[in-house]
Chains A and B, each alone.
Chain A
Amino acid sequence: MSFATIGLLVILLLFVFFFMGLEIGFSMALAGFIGFAAIVNVDAAFNLVAKDVFSVLSSYGFTVIPMFVLMGQVGASGGVARNLYDSAYKFIGHVPGGLAIGTVAAATVFKAICGSSPATAATFATIAVPEMDRYNYDRRLSCGTVATVGTLGILIPPSVVLIVYGILTETSIGKLFLAGIIPGLIVAFSFVMTLFGWSAMNPNLGPKGEKSSWKERFSSLPPVLVVLSIFLIVVGGLMMGFFTPTEAGSVGTFAVLILTLCKKDMDLKRFIQAVSETLRIACMVIMLIAGATILGHFFAVTRTPYIVASWLEGLQVDRTVIMLIIISVYLIGGSFIEDLAFLILATPIFLPVVLKMGYDPIWFGVIVSVVTMIGVILPPMAINAFVVSGVCKEPVGTVYKGIYPFIIGMSLCLLLLLFFPQISLWLPNMMME
């Protein structure tokens, strides 16, 4: 059998494992192991699994993941999101749909310390939805908004998706963070426009809230400023080369911990809760990476990425068309397999193609992130919709109805970023030469 045939069989086996309900990380490890044993020999495969898993687990580079997850979890369980929401609410609650717009604004700032998308959706589902219920907001609008704003963290640093992408492709995490800022703000702006348009068309969806005085507004600002300065220290320190990514995450966590301790919003019980959530998320992500590493070594032996690259090159079409094909693969793949898992699986396969076509890997990271943002709220594997439906006790169908309008805006942003790479690349190129 040729290498290409074995490669194809292993991919088939991988999908059989997925559909049987074997954990995705374990499926990748097992399929990679079997493939490697078939091509090289069983002893080498035994060595490979142990070495790969041990080196992923004990590598300094990967400790950045638990650190940034911990920073977000400490912020989430320490009530930082509520402070931000209170402030946004006071500024904009009085316009139609204002509470939902306030949710977008608060989530955008909150994302500057919390990179986890379902955690944000869950946090805002418990804070913002009851508030919107109080003013008789339509459940489609309120649930759709909280499910969608959770995705902002995929693009706005410190995003776990960008960190994982940076590790996989060996690109600078600092640069990726910078590249995510402007596109992240553009997407957040598209959410605000969607909400404006939607509530203008149907004013009953989001009635006006109370108007606050300017004094109330300004007195709600300090926590917002503290969060923004923590963000500046973390991303700035990383950018200037003062911190490694792991150090940036640790310092950020420590700063958020001090902030929540000062506000008396943090106690031992909450900290333990944040730590155990972090352990679970980090363990899940790193086991995915470990599985993908084993599978990746198998693919490297079969030269699968090069076969894919030469096949795509042989199509004789414009590189934009090939990029659109790659994006569709991510969208389709990510809507059936969990999005981060699919990104970890697919990126090493497609990266050689992307580089060969002359695209910037930093820019591709931003594009992949926006695709992942759409993926996490696109049925049938829309984690955020499940989270919000669980917290708000609303059928998933209702949440989906609230999500669709936002997807239009996000798709427009994706096209904008696709055709104008300078939007993503301007900031990192200017700041890091």
Chain B
Amino acid sequence: MAQEKPLIYMKFAGLSRAGESGFVESTVKTKSYLGGLNRIFSRFLFVIAGFALTGTMLLTVADVILRAFKRPILGTYELVGLLGAVVIGFALPQTSRLKGHVMMDFLTGKLPDTLQSVLRILTRLLAIGLFAILGWNTWSMGNDFYRVGEVTPTLQLPLYPVTYLMALCFFIECLVLFVDMLEKRELEP
């Protein structure tokens, strides 16, 4: 499979694992029930993030063109900001699942296998802790926004739905990290 070759550098760069997208058949093998659930969630969110990204681009271009005819699209500025949150937040679980975040693994890679597993479990627990805190507090921030009725300045769009969605993404990120902790990490060539 052509998709298996570039795995070597993906780990370092978090970039350009050509062809291995959320849409193409994934090379990460998951058999467990939790793993499957994890995969479906991450990819579903990733697809939405893709639509949000394309939408942001088209919306901005349309605004620029219409502005030339003195008919700008009202509230583009706030819509792009909110869509930006969807783009990054929804892409987060899949990026983690594909080991797309930069880390310093040239040192841990040289350690004995047992120690590597211990460190992996430890770092996954730390990361789960971080995202649990993040998810919980973003959720309660959403509660505040809902109660106060916080809206964007021009379009008067309520802020709480996006906030709740972000919190949801952070909880799904916890799931991804949890599955990552249970799975044996693929051996790098």
Q: Which residues of A contact B (CB under 8 A)?
A: 17-26, 29-30, 33, 46-47, 49-51, 53-54, 57-60, 62-63, 66-67, 70, 116, 118-119, 122, 243, 246-247, 250-251, 253-254, 272-273, 275-284, 286-288, 336-338, 340-341, 380-381, 383, 386-387, 389-391
Contact = CB atoms under 8 A, between A and B. Distances in A.
Contact of A287 (B58, B63, B101, B123): B101
B123 A277 contact: no
Contact of B101 (A18, A277, A284): A284
B145 to A, nearest CB: 10
Interface residues of B, number: 71
A49 B81 CA distance: 19
A390 B58 CA distance: 35
Nearest to B104: A18
Interface string B64-77: 10000000000001
A123 B13 CA distance: 14
B57 A254 contact: yes
Contact of B166 (A17, A54, A283): A54
Given A337-B104, A380-B106, A20 B122 contact: yes
A280 B138 contact: no
Q: Identify whether the interface residues of B are mostly helix, strand, loop, or mixed.
A: helix
A275 B53 contact: yes
B170 to A, nearest CB: 8
A253 B12 CA distance: 27
A23 B103 CA distance: 4
B22 A247 contact: no
B88 A282 contact: yes
Interface in B129-181: 129-130, 133-134, 136-138, 140-141, 162-163, 166
A336 B88 CA distance: 26
Given A63-B81, A390-B8, A17 B126 contact: yes
A53 B134 contact: yes
Nearest to A291: B130
A148 B16 CA distance: 17
A121 B134 CA distance: 36
28 contacts: A20-B119, A23-B96, A23-B101, A23-B102, A26-B130, A29-B130, A30-B127, A33-B133, A50-B138, A53-B134, A54-B163, A57-B84, A58-B162, A66-B53, A66-B88, A119-B16, A122-B18, A243-B64, A277-B18, A280-B14, A284-B14, A284-B95, A287-B101, A337-B104, A338-B102, A381-B104, A387-B13, A389-B8
A20 B108 contact: yes
Interface in B49-67: 49-50, 53-54, 56-58, 60-61, 63-64
Contacts of B102: 23-25, 284, 288, 338, 340-341
Contacts of B61: 250-251, 254
A270 to B, nearest CB: 10
Contacts of B122: 20
